[in-house]
Amino acid sequence: MATIQVFDPALCCSSGVCGVEADQDLINFASDLDWMKQHNISIDRFNLAQQPIDFANNPTVKGFLERSGAEALPLILVNGEIALAGRYPNRNELARWTGVSLEEEETESSCCGGCC
């Protein structure tokens, strides 16, 4: 199974979904993380404001930050390699990286075989 790590920019809280004007991308990503948990897949997240040592101790992340700067975050690693930078992955990408089938989800969530 794939190991996914998300290196977030400095966020006010662990999810970034807080305050009056929460970023819609973070709201969508939080929903996708909950979806992954339903499939028994955990994704490790690291917040630059709260866990800077994890950024410094990972050679891939440290090199990325030296080249691109913190404004290029978030950085997504899959099995230790850079898979995505500058935005959060969507559900399709998460499913592809982890082998979760989206087709099963669509079938299960369809109330009447696609008629509604």
Contacts by residues 67-76 (CB-CB < 8 Å, ≥ 24 positions apart): 70/9, 70/10, 71/9, 73/7, 73/8, 73/9, 73/48, 74/6, 74/7, 74/8, 74/9, 75/6, 75/7, 76/4, 76/5, 76/6, 76/7
At residue 62, the pLDDT reads 98
**Strands 44-47 and 4-8, sheet pairing:** parallel
Structure tokens at 71: 């404004």
pTM (predicted TM-score): 0.81
Residue 73 pLDDT > 90, yes or no? Answer: yes
- Residue pair 25/88 in contact (Cβ under 8 Å)? The answer is yes
Of residues 84 and 24, which shows the higher confidence score? 84
Residue 113 pLDDT > 60, yes or no? Answer: no
Residues 7-55 have pLDDT tens digits of: 999 876 555 555 556 678 888 999 999 999 999 998 999 999 999 999 9
User: Which whole number is the average pLDDT over 50-73?
Assistant: 97
